[in-house]
């Protein structure tokens, strides 16, 4: 442990944030640091390094940690995720970690198997089940589609209550640091159900230029992702999500953000306007 971590640890406890360079982890780490909390970044590029495929390095990451944010990449539905979560929870328990917050997915039976591992750990736990992220269109796999003005995704008309990652991060940070969140399952969604046609319309309104949703057959979409050179686990995840999770099972709103934070979640239109004011969606030639 470095001296800065020791100083912060004595002031407010050390929190391990896994996926610290990702959408949720980066934001959670920043929130905790702003609160004066000691943070250990859990990523392959950090020191000590955290890698889900290298358990030998986990002890250094967990030393002196009081709370941990668990973000399994690329998704808890992936084969083998339960083994990894069980191994991490067991090791966290041996290190005396007393609070766990798990980022999970809505409507994923495999993810709920991972949730049960955390719930049965004997450690105070909070589950954050999130719908699809708004930021998939600005920080994720679909940003280039928005730039090109064509959202080419599988042909689905099921509405999804897209949630803002800032809201997810605030919920997780509250659960990591505040009282009253142990034993809670916060299922977090945005305030509206949106189809991909609706998303394209909101993006068009925000950017002031035409952005279309161009539905493609599911198999053609998956083949295109694979041909683009995407990692096999990403191809598998997108195949799974579009074929399974967008079948209507999640087409309803929940009150997780309201219960955890006492306020309404951010609307997709507000998110779109904020991003449109930057260069992220600048049209490509």
Question: Domain 3-133+163-190+251-266: what homologous superfamily?
Answer: NAD(P)-binding Rossmann-like Domain (3.40.50.720)
Q: What is the pLDDT of residue 190?
A: 98
What 3-state class would DSSP assign to 42?
strand
Nearest by Cα to 186 from 199, 200, 201, 170: 170
The residues pairing with 18 across neighbouring beta strands, listed in sequence order, are 42
Which residues does residue 17 pair with via DSSP β-bridges, in sequence order? Answer: 41, 69
pLDDT by position in tens, the chain (length 285): 333 333 333 335 899 999 999 999 999 999 999 999 999 999 999 999 999 999 999 999 999 999 999 999 989 999 999 999 999 999 999 999 999 999 999 999 999 999 999 999 999 999 999 999 999 999 988 999 999 999 999 999 999 999 999 999 999 999 999 999 999 999 999 999 999 999 999 999 999 999 999 999 999 999 998 998 888 888 988 898 898 889 999 999 999 999 999 999 999 999 999 999 999 999 876
Identify the helix (H) or strand (E) that includes residue 187. strand 184-188
pTM: 0.93
Joined together, the tokens standing for residue 155 give 């042909």
Domain spans, the chain: 3-133+163-190+251-266
Instruction: DSSP letter for 140, please.
Output: S
Nearest to 261 by CA among 136, 126, 133: 126
In which region does residue 39 sit, left (phi positive, over 0), alpha (psi from -120 to 50) or beta (all else)?
Answer: beta
CA 9 to chain centre: 25
Question: φ and ψ at 250, to 5 degrees?
Answer: -110, 15
| Spatial CA neighbour of 267 closest among 188, 162, 169, 157 | 162
């Amino acid at each position: 442990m470095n001296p800065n971590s020791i100083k912060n640890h004595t002031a407010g406890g050390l929190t391990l944030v896994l996926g610290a360079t990702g959408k949720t982890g980066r934001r959670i780490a920043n929130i905790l640091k702003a609160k004066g909390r000691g943070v250990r970044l859990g990523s392959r590029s950090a020191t000590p390094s955290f890698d889900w495929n290298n358990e030998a390095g986990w002890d250094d990451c967990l030393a002196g940690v009081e709370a941990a944010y668990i973000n399994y990449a690329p998704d808890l539905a992936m084969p083998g995720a339960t083994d990894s979560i069980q191994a991490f929870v067991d090791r966290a328990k041996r290190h005396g970690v007393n609070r766990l917050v798990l980022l999970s997915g809505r409507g994923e039976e495999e993810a709920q198997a991972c949730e049960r591992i955390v719930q049965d750990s004997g450690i105070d736990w909070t589950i954050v089940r999130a719908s699809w992220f708004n930021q998939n269109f600005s920080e994720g796999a679909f940003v280039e589609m928005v730039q090109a003005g064509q959202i080419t995704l599988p042909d689905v008309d099921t509405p999804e209550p897209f949630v803002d990652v800032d809201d997810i991060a605030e919920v997780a940070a509250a659960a990591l640091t505040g009282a009253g969140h142990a034993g809670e399952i916060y299922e977090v969604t945005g305030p509206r159900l949106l189809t991909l046609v609706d998303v394209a319309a909101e993006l068009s309104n925000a950017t002031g230029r035409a952005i279309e949703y161009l539905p493609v057959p599911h198999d053609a979409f998956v083949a295109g992702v694979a041909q683009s050179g995407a990692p096999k686990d990403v191809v598998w995840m997108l195949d799974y999500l579009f074929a399974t999770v967008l079948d209507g099972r999640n087409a309803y709103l929940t009150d997780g953000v309201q219960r955890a934070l006492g306020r309404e979640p951010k609307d997709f239109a507000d998110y779109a306007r904020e991003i449109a004011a930057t260069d992220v969606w600048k049209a490509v030639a």
